[in-house]
Amino acid sequence: MKQLIHNGTIVFPDHVKANCDMKIVDGVIDALGSNLTADNNLKSCDFSGDIIIPGLIDTHVHGAGGCDIMDGTAESLVTLRQALLQEGTTAFLGTTLSSPVDQLLTVLDTIDAGRKDKIHFGQAELLGVHLEGPFLTAEYKGAHVGKYIPPSLPGGDIAILTRLVKSFPNLIKILTFAIDRLDAADLAAFCQSHGIIPSAGHTAADYMAMSRAAEAGIQRITHAFNTMPGIHHRKPGPMTEGLLNNDIELELIADGIHIHPAILEMAFRLKPQDKVTLVSDGTRSVGMPEGEYELGGLMTTVKNGIALLADGTIAGSAFPLLQGIRTMVQVLNRPLHEAVRFASLNPARSLGISHRMGSLEPGKEATFVRLSSELMVKQVWVKGELVVDRIG
């Protein structure tokens, strides 16, 4: 099948080009440029100057559409994937919460089956798992249930992780763990040897511990600035190392709630362009009305876009990944191409899939989102097929 998209404002990794056309052949971008010529075999569509961005890739999302990864059912997973696609997220890592090992195995089994299912028209692509916990620090557990965080004992964490990975090889792509646990160095080494990104999060570690963890192989910080000690002029904290070390990638929730805009701006100025990835940390409340929603066995109340536990703890986000792009552009006045790259090409590169997705280039999948000038979803296209249409 051949398709010609006329007159789009296409967002590339380093610039934005207006009055640009896109030729699609068999679900793949064949050509990009001005005044591409149509032939009799091409279906043509005029985008009237609307913004076209690559499909967004969320590497940290728990749920959407009233469903959660931890539900552990095929039906819930389908609904979740459909809800994410409606929000412009075309690929994601299903992100877990601290739970008993048997429950995690059930959830991973469901995700593994869903990832292998090739019949997923109208659903976001499931790329694998971001295992958040259970190897956390209780002091900074956030919305995780404390009783599901196992005691830190020599060899205990590595035994659990080994069991999970052996049961589902190549499924876990990111592991978030507290670097102050006894098995932290072994966890980092295990991740490196199994193609898993080791990420520091929910940790009480100080600056020096974070520096040692970076030397041991930690490559990323999960929802940076959240659920960890802050930066103090006499106690730098782990984020100081995260900001100054150019080898560490920062995962940032830019929903306008988790991090003050000034702190976001500081991070964007200090970090290399390829070491920032926007994530949603979205929960089952994404795309849903305000109200009460379960998260990992705890109840959250969503009001004015903020999801809170009963004690006032922020519990994930009620916003999709696209909200982070809006914050960068509309609040911080950052360039649109930069914001989009942080939510598409950067996560694609981190996961080793940038050869087929993450940017709009010839030879890559024609998976993209059509946005209004206010950065609201108008359409979603997956491999050259229109799958979400809010115009008609």
pLDDT, tens digit, 9 for 90 and up, residues 10-41: 999 999 999 999 999 999 999 999 888 777 77
> Does residue 281 carry a catalytic annotation?
yes
pLDDT tens, position by position, 142-173: 889 999 999 999 999 999 999 999 999 999 99
Q: What is the mean pLDDT of residues 121-133?
A: 94
> Annotated catalytic residue: which of 21, 58, 112, 281?
281
Distance, in Å, from the CA atom of 253 to the CA atom of 220, rounded to the nearest integer, reads 14
Bridge partners, residue 29, by sequence: 24
pTM of the model: 0.96
Element (H, E) at 224: none
Tell me the C-alpha distance between 65 and 320, whole Å: 11
Calculated CA dihedral for residues 211, 217, 219, 221, nearest 10 degrees: -50
What the chain holds in terms of domains, given with CATH numbers, is 2-52+359-389 (2.30.40.10), 56-350 (3.20.20.140)
Angle of helix 156-167 relative to helix 101-116, nearest 10 degrees, comes to: 30
311 confidence band (pLDDT: 50, 70, 90): confident
Question: Model confidence over 349-364: pLDDT tens digits?
Answer: 999 999 999 999 999 9
**Residue percentage of the chain with pLDDT more than 90:** 84
Q: Where residue 392 falls among pLDDT bands split at 50, 70, 90?
A: low
**Residue 119 confidence class, pLDDT cut points 50, 70, 90:** low
**pLDDT at residue number 36:** 85
Which amino acid would we find at residue 35?
N
240-294 per-position pLDDT tens digit: 999 999 999 999 999 999 999 999 999 999 999 999 999 999 999 998 888 888 8
pLDDT at 216 over 90: yes
Q: Would the CA dihedral through 71, 77, 82, 87 be positive or negative?
A: positive
Q: For the residues 92-96, what does the mean pLDDT come to?
A: 97
Q: How far, in Å, CA of 24 to CA of 363, rounded?
A: 10
